[in-house]
Amino acid sequence: MGLMKVFSGSEVLAIALQERLEEAGVETSKKDNIQSARMAGYGGSDLAVEVFIQETDFAKANPVIEEFRMSL
């Protein structure tokens, strides 16, 4: 199994979701496209921070993700 993207948006929201998922026992990884673009010398506000989980953790993560989305 591989990684599955569960969120794409602002860094603040990505960190909030990551914390909730990790509290529920789901490991996450974050890809910061904004920081990557800055380091490469590009600008752009349309880039986002993405949160990924293992596909095998989706059943455990889905209720947390849905609750997070409803709270926005």
- State pLDDT tens for residues 44-61: 555 589 999 999 999 999
**CATH classification at residue 10:** 3.30.70.1530
* Phi, psi angles (nearest 5°) of residue 40: -85, -5
Domain that holds residue 31: 3-71
Query: How high is the pLDDT of residue 47?
Result: 57
Comparing 70 with 37, which gets the higher pLDDT? 70
Q: Identify whether the C-beta of residue 64 lies closer than 8 Å to the C-beta of residue 6.
A: no
How many structural domains is the chain composed of? 1
Q: What is the pLDDT of residues 19-37, one digit of tens each?
A: 999 999 999 999 987 665 5
Q: pTM for this structure? A: 0.82
Long-range contact set of residues 43-50: C-beta below 8 Å, sequence gap at least 24: 48/8, 48/9, 48/10, 49/8, 49/9, 49/10, 49/11, 49/14, 50/5, 50/7, 50/8, 50/14
Calculate what percentage of the chain has a pLDDT beyond 70.
79
Query: How high is the pLDDT of residue 61?
Result: 98
